[in-house]
């Protein structure tokens, strides 16, 4: 089996029993969970990058691309609470997440929803033109920052 399929299998195994409260998770499980959630956020960053480039004038504004990227971001950030379900606090493996993710889960989930809505609004704005896009980008960016300030270790 390739590593890719191995890690998919592992991820499936890992996320299946999440509703049960497991006292202990193995280091391997914690590592896979951290990779999965960081992978999701890397993909979010992958789609967000060109939007920042367009806002800074490093890339030409392309309303169709901006709208499509923002729509994908809206879907991706909705998955954040799912991929953070496994509590990896006790495992000693370092990540960018603060403990508050697992002590303040409702607020964490709410921030994901706010971000998803802001990205959806950005998608709509981008299809209307550059100035609406620029206006909506601020709110979308703040929604990322709003969560990072409370739940991500300072960079």
In the complex, the smallest distance separating the C-beta of residue 109 from ligand HEC, rounded to whole angstroms, is 7
Out of 11, 63, 83, 96, the residue judged to bind ligand HEC by CB under 6 A: 96
Q: What is the maximal distance between C-alpha atoms in the chain?
A: 51
Cβ burial 111-127 (10 Å sphere, 16+ → b, else e) = bbebbbbbbbbbbebbb
Rounded to whole angstroms, the Cα distance separating 54 from 72 reads 17
Q: Kindly indicate which of the ranges 19-27, 54-62, 96-104, 121-129 contains the residues binding ligand HEC, using the contact rule CB under 6 A.
A: 96-104
Contact flag: residue 144 with ligand HEC (CB under 6 A): yes
Contact flag: residue 151 with ligand HEC (CB under 6 A): yes
> How many residues in total does the chain contain?
155
Q: Kindly indicate which of the ranges 2-10, 20-28, 73-81, 127-135 contains the residues binding ligand HEC, using the contact rule CB under 6 A.
A: 73-81
Contact flag: residue 133 with ligand HEC (CB under 6 A): no
Out of 14, 30, 44, 125, the residue judged to bind ligand HEC by CB under 6 A: 44
Q: Which residues bind ligand HEC (CB under 6 A)?
A: 34, 37-38, 41-42, 44-45, 48, 73, 77, 80, 95-97, 101, 108, 111-112, 115, 143-144, 147-148, 151-152
């Amino acid at each position: 089996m390739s590593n890719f399929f191995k890690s998919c299998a592992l991820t499936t195994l890992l996320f299946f029993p999440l509703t049960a409260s497991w006292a202990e998770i193995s280091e391997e499980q914690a590592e896979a969970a951290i990779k999965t959630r960081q992978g999701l956020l890397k993909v979010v960053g992958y789609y967000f990058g060109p939007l920042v480039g367009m806002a800074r004038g490093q890339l030409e504004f392309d309303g169709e691309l901006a709208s499509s990227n923002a729509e994908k971001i809206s879907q991706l950030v909705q998955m954040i609470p799912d991929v953070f379900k496994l509590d990896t606090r006790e495992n000693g493996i370092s990540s960018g997440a603060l403990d508050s993710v697992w002590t303040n889960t409702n607020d964490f989930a709410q921030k994901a929803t706010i971000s998803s809505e802001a990205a959806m609004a950005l998608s709509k704005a981008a299809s209307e033109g550059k100035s609406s896009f620029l206006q909506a980008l601020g709110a979308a960016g703040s929604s990322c920052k709003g969560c990072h300030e409370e739940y991500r270790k300072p960079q």
